Structure 1
Amino acid sequence: MNNEFYNQGLLKAQQKDYAGAIEEFSLALKADPYFAEAYLQRGLAYYDSGAILAAVSDYTEVIKLNPEIVEAYYCRALARLALKNLPGAQEDVEQAIRLNINYAAAHSLRGTVRRKQGYIQDAIASFKKAAELYLQQKDKENCRLCLEKIKQLQPAEKPTIQQKTAPIASIKSVNEYFTQLLDKAEKGDTTEAIADLNWILQADPQDAQAYCCRGVVRCKMGNYREAIADFNQALQLNFPDAAVYRNRGKARSFLGDHQGAIADFHQAIQMQPEDILAYVARGNTYRAMGNYLGAIQDYNKALQINPNDAQAYYNRALAYTFLEEMQNAIEDYRKAASIFCEQQDWENYQQTQDSLKQIQTSVPEYKKQKSNLLRQKLLRLVGGHWEIAQRLIQQKKDNYLGMSEEWYMQKVIDDLESDRRR
């Protein structure tokens, strides 16, 4: 007879007739006071009807009768959590996990409890473990819910200084969880970042943001072909973000596909005309192609948008060096170093200082060589009579004050060559 009451209780609970279910379970327990499962089910009915304390009492009876029933600890943890008894809830959920290490719901509940206690990293670890277990059980929905909880718990990161390779801010549309993974990769932990992204894509192979993020990390690892495959997949999944084209352009440039890279940068800039990173990246590719003037134009555009972009100054200095405009290069290196110093980006600051020292060392010799070449050319134009050259130079000095010696020689040369062409 007690089984009949019990079965009727289950039926009424399914129909959400919790009062009727409680009555049936009570009759079953009256017939058999040691019926642990009836206490458990009545506890669930009490919980669903809002009688939390009565539910806790029934779950406690279950544990007294059989301390190995995992569900009793889990359910009592839920009830204690509802009563804001966090220590009690944690004690119960820990016991549930000890009894069944693969109890996904218990790990998820533990994450909730630890979050409420303020232990965020511990909570994230629990939600991650729960998501992994749900994934193994092919419970995609609960896995996604755990991922969302992880994303919500990730702290908002202060934007980091731009680096020459895939900066954290390169994907502006991803949520904080993906930003955290990029931060992890930026700090050198690319292996763990890739493992996390592989795990996410196993849970949801249609997550375009994850493909884009993994592509950025693979670029940092130097796996440019794999990165391009990820960016292509993100685009196929209708994630036409400017960052996808920009980062794919970087990968193509590293592989020597400069024209393809330029096409991607054009697309990124068309989608986001104020994207400084795209201008700098396109400038770097132009520079690699030997188009130094085109590179400088892009760096100029980046600096119009943000006059304090240290990377733009640094890269423009490199372009000026190739054009042998050493003074411009020195000024840009100094500006970049100053900004890196203010940002406390000591690695880039030191690199810029090293470049600056190198170019400052070479400038006197370069100027000397240039001056000698101008002197020789001028001597040829005046038939080897240096006194004539000196008189012409002095005339220019009288007409144009404050210019360099090389400038006056070049001016005399230009005028003499112009006269000969007439």
Structure 2
Amino acid sequence: MTPLSTLKTLYLFLILFSCGFHAFSQKANLSPLQLAQEAFEQQRWEKALSMLDLWIQDNPADREAYWMRGQAHQYVNKLEEALGDFSSLLTLDPQFAEAYFERGRVRYLLGHYESAIEDFENFLKMPPGETNRVLYKVAPGSNGVSEVTTLQTASAEQAYYHLGLCSIELGEYDFAILYLDEALSLNPEEADFYTEKGRALARLGDNVPAMEAFELALELNPNHLPAKEGLALVKTGGDEVLLSQLDQVVAEGSGNSQTYKQRGFYRMSHGQDDGAIEDFGLAISLDPEDSESYFYRGKTYSRQKKWKDAEADYSAAISLDPENPEYLLSRGQSRYVSGQLEEALADFTQTIALDPDFASGYYHRGITYQRMNRKSEACSELQKAIDLGMEAAVGVWEKVCKQD
């Protein structure tokens, strides 16, 4: 190496050393809070926590430091420590709205549902306004419910949603539905809200509206797993754990109409027809104004081919809820099978009048026309069902209407 190249190499080394020393010097001059913020942004949670611990020791009244440390504790799943941080913060500043929201989430995850409700209610009492504070996503463990928030700023809709979650855990399903309806009124495009409403409705035994809620969630997000699981459970009447709980309530003599209706639905869904009919009868005796109990008993009678009994129950359900197309469709099906074609046709026509997009109404009106030898009208109705996406109508149309 020539003397000139050696000098150039030495010069370059000195420059790099100087830059490195300058950077090190700058780093050394950062406060623990600044180092914590840097580590936080890099998602180095343990480093952030160690720096925040140092900072808070010397600055025990720094609200933002508690705010940051509480979130970092959540990320490493130290929920009790996070709870302590948010509580300390609220002692220092009872008007720190976001801290109520975050503490409520931590309390929910810890199972402290009553105190979580207090926090979410306090958050909602705070004056509305925009905030620049970030609520970092904390992914909860799988707990069988929808995700506990992924939002970037606290909002009233999420507070109502979490109030609904807490109420479900406390068994206060009516309150849960009220809270979730509030969340939906603020944001009707959130699948989680419909899913949890469906869960609350199912716990009350209101299975038809529960299924509707789950289906709305799946319209918004076809891959929403909790909605899929909820819909499947409702359609099969619930799991065996639920059945044992219902049996225990009945054995204790504290069952109400909803208890018997829900157990009846389970039995109906599992082929226990006689037990289902008995339970629905008990539900009706306790609450003769509940149309669903008549409807489900009618469906069970239909499976037993007791058409007159089924028709009587469907008629009772319709008298209580005359705007329900499912009830009219079911009575029409019962009448169709028992040979009452004119009466069945009237029911299917009324079904379509209530819901012009109900493909099954057109399909059943079509097969009724076909059985009455009114081929032209039958083909027209079947085509409408096909246009509305009913695949089952295609085969019937090809058999009845397709030209040779």
TM normalised by structure 2 equals 0.48
Larger helix percent: 1
TM-score by length of structure 1 reads 0.46
